[in-house]
Amino acid sequence: MLDVTKAPVDNDQPLLLAEGLSKSFGRLHACRDVSFALYPGEVLAIVGESGSGKSTLLQLLSAQMTPNAGSVSYRMRDGVMRDLAALGEAERRFLFRTDWGFVHQDAAMGLRMGVSAGANVGERLMAVGHNHYGKIRQTAASWLERVEISTDRIDDAPKTYSGGMRQRLQIARNLVTEPRLVFMDEPTGGLDVSVQARLLDMMRTLVSELGLAAIVVTHDLAVARLLSHRVMVMQGGRVIETGLTDQVLDDPREPYTQLLVSSILPA
Amino acid sequence: MNAPTYNFAYLDEQTKRMIRRAILKAIAIPGYQVPFASREMPMPYGWGTGGVQVTAAILGVTDVLKVIDQGSDDTTNAISIRKFFEKTAGVAVTTSTLDATVIQTRHRIPEAPLHEKQVLVYQVPIPEPLRFLEPRETETRRMHALGEYGLMHVKLYEDIARFGHIATAYAYPVKVNARYVMDPSPTPKFDNPKMDNCPALQLFGAGREKRIYAIPPYTSVVSLDFEDHPFTRYKHDACCALCGAGESYLDEIVTDNAGSRMFVCSDTDFCETRQAEGHRGSESAPYAENRHA
């Protein structure tokens, strides 16, 4: 896990605050009474098996879905805490493409597969009014370098990229506007182990360099251990255990967490 | 010679009212695509059903109609639509840009400057400028509503990345009245500057897509571009072979199988007017003389 001391310490106000979040689909309770606070620069992992409500929670937190009960508030760049449900659609979408990032498990959902990598990275810049081709391209190139994609692939479409490259491109595309909060939904899902390792290493560097806060949904405890400061364990839509990553993973309290931890195959 | 079974200008009055309402709304919100209940017309989609409905809705008995197709008054599409309104509305028709009060066009804006007494009706195949980048109609509508036009620049970026310049040569996106991004229909980008601050009313009808949009007279129309890759007009580097015009939009005509070609004005009325005024191009000398020179 990350060195906690590297996280910015002057930020004692939460960046994102979830209070009593619940969401049900008919009889199915996907998420029950979830509350937590996320601080600037902090990486929170949400772990749990399939169907435990992780992805639903991520959707609620990122205002892509409205909860049945509870609220999510976010500290805007001006320092004011705002209830996401009270934001207008224009504000919410603006937030989504400037101050937030969303890394999908399937890169095809987060990228425009038919347009070049440079344009994929540059899109957010153009969306906030950058209007100088040369500068946009330069920024795109420097971001490709940071995510270890060779700049001579800048004019190739991501459909010609490998899975790992697509995922790295997706990260670059999200980080180009220097967001303060990034949501990641199984960012390493479907990648082979060596590619996962490289991706995780890169994400860890970027997160600490940029002082990003991140919420990472994963079923892979290794990802949680490598990336996150804190872990939240979900089962059946409830948060059953939460704490510092090493504490939860090395000394799990709940039987279910113990089961999860013990089911990791020894390397 | 009105066929008695037709209402004036083919469409029934209720339909015309509906279309006029859409037109009024379109004029009130420049560049905004207004949905309308497009009717089946006695012609296939893609032949100008949108333009024809708009023309039918605005045509009055005293109007003088001109129809052009790629600038030309004498191609199949232009002739058949002109005949259609001669037959169903009995209005006067002309090929002169100056004399016409309603000009229906496919893919060109006449070279002669338009004036306040005129309405230019465009036939539009695909009204949505964002369509090829964002296939969802719900999403493009939302993007228009919120003024999220970053995606349009992605297209221009792609052009430069691939070809070194903005290679979009027709249907070049414009911003109308500093608000809505609009597809000017597949006119060559050469014509884009003519839309800006134009004294004539410009109406756009898309029959298959069921949309009407408009640019009111004297409205700002700005072609999108990058600071370091500004909008440029494009035309063939030649003069018209028939009238010698150097400033008009030219069609390239292949004259044999050996690669010979000539360039002529795409606007036939403009070219003929100039020839009548005595202007001559390289090919207008007597045929034999030119051949053996």
| B7-22 pLDDT tens trace | 999 999 999 999 999 9
In whole angstroms, what is the distance from residue A163 CA to residue A169 CA?
A: 10
Return the number of other C-beta atoms located less than 10 Å from residue B228's C-beta.
13
Q: With CB atoms and an 8 Å threshold, state whether B150 touches A128.
A: yes
Question: How confident is residue B3, by pLDDT bands cut at 50, 70 and 90?
Answer: low
Burial class from Cβ neighbours inside 10 Å (0-12, 13-18, 19+) for residue B134 reads middle
Q: How confident is the model at residue B289 (pLDDT cuts 50, 70, 90)?
A: very low
Percentage of residues of chain B with pLDDT beyond 70 = 95
Integer Cα distance of B142 and B256 in angstroms: 51
**Which of chain B's residues have a Cβ under 8 Å away from the Cβ of A87?**
none
Give the pairing type, strands B174-176 and B92-93: unpaired
For residue B243, indicate whether it is catalytic. Answer: yes
- Name every chain A residue with its beta carbon within 8 A of the beta carbon of B160: 133
Contact at CB, A127 and B158, closer than 8 angstroms: no
Q: Given this model, what pLDDT does residue B288 score?
A: 42
pTM of the full structure: 0.85
Q: How far apart are CA A208 and CA A197, in angstroms?
A: 17
Of B148, B227, B228, the CB nearest to A127: B148
- Output the six-digit token pair for A132: 């100088």
What is the DSSP secondary-structure string of B92-143? EE-S-TTT-SEEEEES---SSPP-TT-EEEEE-S---TTTTT---HHHHHHH
pLDDT range class, residue A51, cuts 50, 70, 90: confident
Q: pLDDT > 90: what percent of chain A?
A: 59
Q: Which residues contact B69 (CB under 8 A, 6 or more apart)?
A: B75, B76, B77, B78, B105, B106, B107
Residue A158 binned pLDDT confidence (cut-offs 50, 70, 90): very high
Q: Note which residues in 56-115 of chain A have CB less than 8 A from chain B.
A: 89-90, 93, 97, 112, 115
Q: What's the rounded mean pLDDT across residues A22-40?
A: 92
Around Cβ B39, how many Cβ atoms within 10 Å? Answer: 17
Q: Which residue has the higher pLDDT, B214 or A199?
A: B214
Domains of chain A plus CATH, in order, are: 16-108+179-262 (3.40.50.300)
List CB contacts (< 8 A) between B226 and chain A.
131-133
Q: Mean pLDDT over residues B231-254, rounded?
A: 91
Q: Which residues contact A203 (CB under 8 A, 6 or more apart)?
A: A171, A187, A227
Q: Do B150 and A124 touch (CB under 8 A)?
A: yes
Mean pLDDT of B128-153: 92
Give B62-79 pLDDT, tens digit per residue.
Answer: 999 999 999 999 999 999
CB distance A171 to A102 below 8 Å: no
Task: Convert the pLDDT of each residue in A82-139 to its tens digit.
Answer: 999 999 888 999 998 899 999 998 999 999 998 999 999 999 999 998 999 999 999 9
Sheet with B221-223, side-by-side order of all strands:
B180-182, B174-176, B221-223
* Active-site residue, selected from the candidate residues B31, B48, B51, B207: B31
| Main-chain phi, psi angles of B205, to 5 degrees | -125, 125
Q: Which of A64, A87, A132, A133 to mutate to test the interface with B (most CBs of B within 10 A)?
A: A133
Minimal Cβ distance to A126: which of B157, B160, B162: B157
pLDDT in tens, A53-93: 898 999 999 999 999 999 999 999 888 899 999 998 889 99
pLDDT for position B116: 96
Decide if pLDDT at B43 tops 60: yes
The closest of A152, A145, A157, A150 to A116, measured between CA atoms, is: A157
The C-alpha atoms of residue B77 and residue B84 are separated, in whole angstroms, by 10
- Given a contact cutoff of 8 angstroms between Cβ atoms, the answer to whether A74 and A257 are in contact is no
